[in-house]
Structure 1
Amino acid sequence: MPDAPPPSLDPVQLGAYFTLIEVTSLLRHAVEQQLREAGNLSYVQFQLLARLGDSPTGSHRMTDLADGVVYSRSGLTYQAGLLEKAGLVVRAPSPDDERSVTVTITDAGRALLAEVLPGHIEVVSGLLFEPLSPADVRALAALLAPVRDHIRAAPPRSAASRRRQAQ
């Protein structure tokens, strides 16, 4: 029985993949530069503050934050620690589950978020949305949502057993 050929991408798929990766990398670089200059924040720190700032309670469990920002638990713990040292968040045992830690944005965190957000919006609008028509933006959102949902259909990393992750 002959070996099956290795999976491949056709030229259009390959081009779409490389274009997506290039656009994502260029946009992230510009966003990271703006966040460093405007608020001395890393991209992950901004994501944490933004998610907390959008929450009605200003709080999230660390595991949920790690899944939401697609970051390792240990890396997120480190980033949250830096934000806590800066007075931008506080961490405390979860009232619902003593094994969980809850992160809450502080007034200083909300103030910094409000300070960096206009520049962040300007960068994203100028680089990502300016060259697109409103119909293009709707089409882009419609194309990316099922891909995101397909990728996220697997259990979040925080739900995987630590033993399996170590292997």
Structure 2
Amino acid sequence: MPDPSHAVDPVQLGAYFALVEVSSLLRHAIEAQLREDGGLTFVQFQILRRLQLAPSGSARMTDLADSIVISRSGLTYQADKLERDGLVARVPSPDDERSVVISVTDAGRALVGTVLPGHEEVVTRMLFEPLSHDADALTRILEPVRDHMRAAPPRSAAPRRRRGRTGPSHPGVT
């Protein structure tokens, strides 16, 4: 029997489901627009846009994976596809022989330029127009939640689970 002291109250539950539904509906519309305008997935767009916004146009793969909240293997898979299409380039890091640096190419920048107006239109129409002038309020609500969630060690620093092994990856950790 669930412990009633740990139950989410109806208002919190309603807020949670509204957030999940808004996120799902917005992502679905964005994914359709990105596919139609540029043949990109949402994750591929995130990779290209984050790199485009980086001062050097580059990032360590591990840092990029953490920033867009994707597994290292998932980022590697997407980077392989983007690299084959000439949208990114990867090179060993000059600072750390274990790291790889990924950079957006001119073709990647051009593709972002092609899809960005439609992306901004979808986000504006679906998210910001209904809010009217309350985008600042949404930011004030979501930033502390995001910061709280990001306070944990980055995904790249989390211990890896070994295949075939059950239980915690470190003794004494539950």
Question: TM-score scaled by structure 1?
Answer: 0.94
Shift, 1:8, TM fit: 1.0
**Quick one: which of 124, 141, 152 aligns to 1:143?**
141
1:103 and 2:102 aligned:
yes
Shift, 1:161, TM fit: 2.0
The DSSP-based 3-state class of the residue aligned with 2:49 is helix
Shift, 1:7, TM fit: 1.9
The DSSP-based 3-state class of the residue aligned with 1:131 is helix
Shift, 1:16, TM fit: 0.3
Per-residue CA distance 1:115-142 (angstroms, 9 max, x = gap): 00000000000000011122x1100000
1:155 and 2:153 aligned:
yes
Say how many residue pairs are matched: 164
- Correspondences of 1:1-167 after superposition (within 5 Å): 4-5=3-4, 7-134=6-133, 136-163=134-161, 167=169
The DSSP-based 3-state class of the residue aligned with 2:130 is coil
Letter in 1 for 2:65: A
Structure 1 alignment gaps of length 5 or more: none
Aligned sequence identity (%): 67
What's the Cα RMSD here?
1.6
Per-residue CA distance 1:31-82 (angstroms, 9 max, x = gap): 0000000000000000000000001110000000000000000000000000
Shift, 1:6, TM fit: 6.3
In 2, the alpha carbon distance for the partners of 1:64 and 1:123 equals 28
Structure 2 alignment gaps of length 5 or more: 170-174
